[in-house]
């Protein structure tokens, strides 16, 4: 056993949150400058400031090129330059968004792997607890409604077997 006093739920929760925040900071510190820039651009492009800025530029561009502002000569009367600029911008923005999505997908996969490891550890601990309770009830000669299920509950779950069954049920794996 440990010499530490039992932790209350609030301190455990705080430690877990702090561990996740620290992990996220560490991940961000190790990202390339290029990935950080792509993330910043994606965040800005997904903001209402971006929408308002583009709306203002679009309105000024159209109004000026329609000749509504006498002091400003039309530089794009057919709006070809505007269309080309919008197309190039769309290409770059979609690339930045894809880069950001790839980064988010990698983070999501890491969290899923962590969740799986914690679940497997939890399953193992639960199995050991079931074995202990079963031994106690047997020693004390106490009968429970779950006595018939105890041997099955006390078995460890093999994750590979579960994955195989999931694949077979979803049709992802060919049958031999």
Q: Residues 23-53: pLDDT tens digits? A: 888 888 888 899 889 999 999 999 999 999 9
Cβ neighbours of residue 96 under 8 Å, at least 6 residues apart?
38, 41, 42, 45
- What's the pTM value of the predicted model, to 2 decimals? 0.64
Question: pLDDT tens digits for 129-146?
Answer: 888 888 888 899 888 887
Rounded Cα–Cα distance for residues 112 and 104 (Å): 12
Determine the 3-state secondary structure of 79 from DSSP: coil
């Amino acid at each position: 056993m440990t010499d530490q006093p039992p932790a209350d739920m609030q301190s455990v929760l705080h430690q877990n949150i702090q561990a996740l925040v620290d992990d996220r900071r560490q991940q961000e510190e190790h990202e390339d400058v290029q990935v950080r820039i792509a993330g910043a651009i994606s965040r800005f492009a997904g903001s209402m400031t971006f929408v308002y800025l583009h709306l203002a530029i679009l309105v000024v561009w159209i109004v000026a090129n329609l000749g509504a502002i006498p002091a400003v000569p039309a530089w794009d009367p057919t709006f070809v330059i505007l269309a080309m600029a919008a197309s190039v911008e769309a290409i770059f923005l979609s690339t930045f968004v894809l880069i950001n999505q790839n980064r988010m997908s990698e983070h999501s996969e890491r969290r899923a792997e962590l969740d799986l490891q914690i679940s497997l550890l939890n399953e193992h601990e639960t199995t050991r607890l079931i074995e202990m309770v079963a031994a106690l009830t047997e020693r004390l000669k106490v009968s429970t409604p779950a006595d018939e299920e105890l041997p099955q509950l006390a078995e460890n779950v093999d994750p590979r077997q579960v994955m195989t069954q999931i694949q077979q049920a979803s049709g992802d794996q060919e049958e031999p």
